[in-house]
Amino acid sequence: MDLDSLGKGIGLFGSAIAAIKQLISLMPDNSKKEEAIEYLKRAEREFKIAESESATDLGYEICRQHFPPIIMLSKDDKHWECPECHNTKSPEDYSSLLGLF
Ligand SMILES: [Zn+2]
């Protein structure tokens, strides 16, 4: 599987989860609904883990301040920022780490 279709697959799975969420919201409030919400939460968590794994395959950085990790965004592919906690990663961070050895 190439990286482009991997990205599309992730997008489709994300839409499927959104559709299921919509369906659950239409269910009457009972124990079946609670059960469905639990399954959905588990699926969403697994999806986020799979998503961050494929994001690193696509060359993205991930923020490890959260679990499942959040995908960091960059304007120049060098300086990365977490959209949630604004944690940053940059090439300078790596060079200072390398300086330790
Ligand atoms: Zn973060």
Q: How far apart are CA 14 and CA 22, in angstroms?
A: 13
Distance 68 CA to ligand 1 centre (A): 10
pTM of the model: 0.67
Distance 56 CA to ligand 1 centre (A): 15
Distance 31 CA to ligand 1 centre (A): 34
Distance 29 CA to ligand 1 centre (A): 34
Beta-carbon-side half-sphere exposure of residue 28 (alpha carbons within 13 Å): 1
Distance 26 CA to ligand 1 centre (A): 33
For each of the chain's 101 residues, which pLDDT tens digit applies? 566 776 777 778 888 889 999 999 999 999 999 999 999 999 989 888 988 998 998 899 999 999 999 999 999 999 999 999 999 999 887 766 666 65
